[in-house]
Structure 1
Amino acid sequence: MSGMAGKGYSAENTDRLKTIPLGSGNVYMIPYTEGSTMPTDAQFEQNANMVGRTKNGATFNYTQTFYTAVSDDGVAKKRRLNEETASFSWGIMTWVPKTIEKLLRTATASTAAEGDDTVAIVEGGGIGNQRAKKFWLHFVGGDDIDGKITLTGIGENIDALSIAFANSNETVLTPNFEFDPYDAEGHLYKFKMANQPNVTSEDGVPKLSALTLGSLTLDPTFDADVNEYATTTSNASNTITATAASGTDIVITVNGNSITNGTAPTWEDGDNIVSVQLASATGMNTYSITVTKS
């Protein structure tokens, strides 16, 4: 799978080959415009693009159909791939009418005033009302040990949508998103396993494989190629942990004062500037996080 190999991956990377992908994740969708190129992780992973919170996990499926030509005596055989399908299904627990509008060709979401209230409305059905609704879909999964895994492609929901209302269970939408080719070579999907060991750029600049500030959410979501972030907190302190390849020196400062990696500085009210400086035999790099304490 050509899209599976990420930064720093090679057949000799035995640490990577021991990885066991675990967990669920989040799904982001952006409207697709014909001819557009794949957005970056940072462009995808914005709260405004998230399609609700995932429930019951997610599943990627790839099927292939071969035509096999065989001679009458069974000696000569030739096999050719002539059909393939890639799809992605997941459960959406927190959803709104706009979610249904994205998933069904005939659905339209709107709002209206009813007395003192504003109500959300979904109207659907009618083959004549259908509109093609292609989206970029971007799934982000993985875990804290082996890092981030993403799946990206374009397409639309092809399944019927069942919405069950029950006293004892959440109401979960379960779309099935079928991928279409996203480039001239006909690729249907792209897996990327980020945060791999020994992450460096082609010119040798060292990069972080992980960056966390306790449980705070970074904006944008961490990506080794993105150097500037922001977050907010009401905590007095949060533990800063930066991870890089072996042989890389990491120096962390908060408002110009050095701290030890893996410790928690005390935040000042307002903006705090966290600088993470990397140095290796092949180069230097700096990441910056603005932490706003309220």
Structure 2
Amino acid sequence: MERIVLGSGKLYVDEFTGELPEDAAIEVEAKLLGYIQGGATLSYKPTFYEAKDDLNFVSKKIITDEEAILKSGVMTWNGETLKKLTPTARVTEDTAKKTRTVKIGGLSNNDGKKYVLHFVHEDKTDGDIRVTIVGSNEAGFELSFAKDKETVINAEFKAQPQDNEGTLILYKEADTSIA
């Protein structure tokens, strides 16, 4: 069944431990990265090498590389969110003062963590779509505090292989026409 996809969704995150969690295990409020603004964009870009003769009579093409990136604007966030977006972030909380402090920077503080990013587009008519990658935010972030606009962190997660087959993107869709 072909579909028209309208609307945004929810973006969940969890630390990658070597295996992807079941949908129900990650689709819980505690693992919501934050409510997003501007939707989410998934891009996949293969790189090819083509060998061909000077007269263009024969050629052979192979894929030599591929890249997948999931972008999303995170509108609701806090210091714990920054920790998931920044490999050098360290978070401490002072319960007496009810404060959270985030230190960012210092190459020796790189935690090397990878995360499962799980986007869910809910569609009551045609069925839900789920997109899952494993990776980390490689775009850094920018915090813009303006008097008339919300602060949105534009994250860009670069996918890394999630299994021993080199899978970068796991796309699942509900389809009632499947017998």
- TM-score normalized by the length of structure 2: 0.95
Partners of 1:154 and 1:130 lie apart in 2 by 17
Aligned to 2:14: 30
What amino acid does structure 2 have at the position aligned with 1:58? A
Aligned to 1:106: 88
Partners of 1:160 and 1:139 lie apart in 2 by 20
Aligned residues: 179
Task: Give the counterpart of 1:187 among 161, 167, 170.
Answer: 167
What amino acid does structure 1 have at the position aligned with 2:105? G
Task: Give the counterpart of 1:56 among 25, 28, 38.
Answer: 38
CA displacement at 1:199 relative to structure 2: 6.1
Contact preservation (8 Å) 2:10, 2:119: yes
CA displacement at 1:93 relative to structure 2: 0.7
Contact preservation (8 Å) 2:85, 2:140: no
Partners of 1:43 and 1:108 lie apart in 2 by 26
Q: Which runs of 4+ in 1 moved over 3 A?
A: none
1:128 aligns with 2:112: no
CA displacement at 1:143 relative to structure 2: 2.2
What amino acid does structure 1 have at the position aligned with 2:109? N
CA displacement at 1:142 relative to structure 2: 3.7
Contact preservation (8 Å) 1:67, 1:82: yes
Partners of 1:185 and 1:146 lie apart in 2 by 30
Partners of 2:177 and 2:42 lie apart in 1 by 28
Partners of 1:192 and 1:158 lie apart in 2 by 25
Greater gyration radius: 1
| Percent of aligned pairs with the same amino acid | 36
Contact preservation (8 Å) 1:135, 1:154: yes
What amino acid does structure 1 have at the position aligned with 2:176? P
1:20 aligns with 2:4: yes
1:94 aligns with 2:76: yes
Task: State the SS of the aligned residue for 2:136.
Answer: strand
Contact preservation (8 Å) 1:21, 1:142: no
What amino acid does structure 2 have at the position aligned with 1:121? T
Partners of 2:147 and 2:72 lie apart in 1 by 22
Partners of 2:19 and 2:105 lie apart in 1 by 32
1:67 aligns with 2:68: no
Contact preservation (8 Å) 1:22, 1:142: no
Deviations 1:41-86 (CA, angstroms, capped at 9, x unpaired): 1011011111010111110010111111110111111111101000
CA displacement at 1:145 relative to structure 2: 1.6
Task: State the SS of the aligned residue for 1:100.
Answer: helix
CA displacement at 1:155 relative to structure 2: 0.8
Aligned to 2:176: 197
| Higher relative contact order structure (alpha carbons within 8 Å, sequence separation ≥ 6) | 2
Task: State the SS of the aligned residue for 1:117.
Answer: coil
Deviations 1:84-122 (CA, angstroms, capped at 9, x unpaired): 000100011110100000110111111125xx6311111
Partners of 1:53 and 1:96 lie apart in 2 by 12
What amino acid does structure 1 have at the position aligned with 2:142? S
